[in-house]
Amino acid sequence: MTISEPLSLKNKASNIGFIFFGLIGILPFVAAFVYALLYSFGLVGAANSGFTTEFWISTWQSGAFIKSLVYSTVVAGTSIFISVSIALWLTLKFRKELEHPILAFAMYLPLAIPGIVAAFFTFQLLAKAGFFSRIAYAFGWITEARQFPDLVNDPYAIGIIATFISIVTPFLLLLFLNVYKNERVDELAQLSQSLGANKQQTVWRVSLPVVLNKTWTLIGLYFIFLLGAYEVPLILGQESPQMLSVLIIREIKQYDLSRLSEGYVVAVIYTVIVTTAAVLLFSRKNDVKHEG
């Protein structure tokens, strides 16, 4: 009796916990997805009158989604690639110097800057009348603001990529420095050199593989976050093509009710892509470990 009582209490508490988890953790996600799916097929929504595949066909034919998907993938991929490269280079070249207290603190400072502030700052620097344009004027390189190249709201997403890099690189640098220390990569590198490997071989075959192997899940996670980024492309992007989140919100929030369903089509496809990516990332790999 004395044993079964706490056990049943335990089960009760655990069940309440699971119900809560289901209500807050799972139900909203499922509800959001089902609602978007029904809307995309015309089954719900003020302007819709019944099942139709019309919105899926028109979304496909307009090409806006495919353009946006390719654009977002290229922007996110480029930003991640450059950020990983810079962070790895800094880790391998300066890891000892970065242990200095001032530098160690400075490396953390960019984490205090949210996306919307980073985008605002990039705009202030790179816009036609921005800080860099003023410097170019002071040096006599330009005589009018409009001569300054398009670096924000531009077709090559230079402003967006620059902002993404400035957000992601500090995080990756700290992550790589952590892994470098925890995995004792220095000792492994020394061992490989004592076994006859040269510097180049040690970097490419020991240090980099160890660091990347330990962090690729988080790099993948970051890629997914950038793919769905909103405020940075909203401030620094152009009219067309737009990044996925901006496109979805533009379609869903506009007054033309007939276009609303197309917005939900894109939201459904985006959700499927992202959840598939999450399954691929996390079902094969160990859980992301946190330092306690």
Partner 1 sequence: MSSMKANWKFFFLAALVILVVFPFAYLLLLSMASEWRFPELWPAYFGMRNWEQVVSSETGLISSFLVSTGISFSVATMSTFIGFFISRGIAYHPYKRTITLLTYFPYILAPVVFAACLSYFFLKLGLFGKPVGVFVAQFMVAFPYALIFFSSFWGEKTKSYEELVATLGGNQLQAFRKVLLPIAKNMLIICFFQTFLISWFEYGLTSIIGVGKVQTLTIKVFLFIKESNFYYGALSCCLLILPPVLLLYINKRYVFNKLI
R_g (Cα) of the chain, nearest Å? 24
Can you spell out the DSSP letters for 212-274? HHHHHHHHHHHHHHHHT--HHHHHH--SSS--HHHHHHHHHHSS-HHHHHHHHHHHHHHHHHH
Phi (first) and psi of residue 68, to 5 degrees: -65, -40
Decide whether 152 or 192 has the Cβ nearer to partner 1: 152
- One-letter amino acid at 93 equals K
Question: What minimum distance in Å lies between the beta carbon of 29 and partner 1?
Answer: 4
Decide whether 163 or 192 has the Cβ nearer to partner 1: 163
Torsion angle of the four alpha carbons 252, 258, 259, 265, in this order, in degrees rounded to the nearest 10? 80
Question: What minimum distance in Å lies between the beta carbon of 196 and partner 1?
Answer: 25
Decide whether 115 or 192 has the Cβ nearer to partner 1: 115
Give yes or no for a contact between 243 and 68, defined as CB atoms under 8 angstroms apart.
Answer: yes
Give yes or no for a contact between 277 and 224, defined as CB atoms under 8 angstroms apart.
Answer: yes
Give yes or no for a contact between 242 and 159, defined as CB atoms under 8 angstroms apart.
Answer: no
Residues 143 and 138: their CA atoms lie apart, in Å, by 9
Question: What minimum distance in Å lies between the beta carbon of 57 and partner 1?
Answer: 21
Decide whether 200 or 290 has the Cβ nearer to partner 1: 290
Give yes or no for a contact between 226 and 79, defined as CB atoms under 8 angstroms apart.
Answer: yes
SS3 61: helix
Question: What minimum distance in Å lies between the beta carbon of 110 and partner 1?
Answer: 6
Tokens of 272: 């499927």
Question: What minimum distance in Å lies between the beta carbon of 105 and partner 1?
Answer: 7
Decide whether 39 or 206 has the Cβ nearer to partner 1: 39
Question: What minimum distance in Å lies between the beta carbon of 191 and partner 1?
Answer: 25
Decide whether 36 or 185 has the Cβ nearer to partner 1: 36
Decide whether 66 or 117 has the Cβ nearer to partner 1: 117
Question: What minimum distance in Å lies between the beta carbon of 68 and partner 1?
Answer: 13
Non-local (6+) Cβ contacts of 93 within 8 A are: none
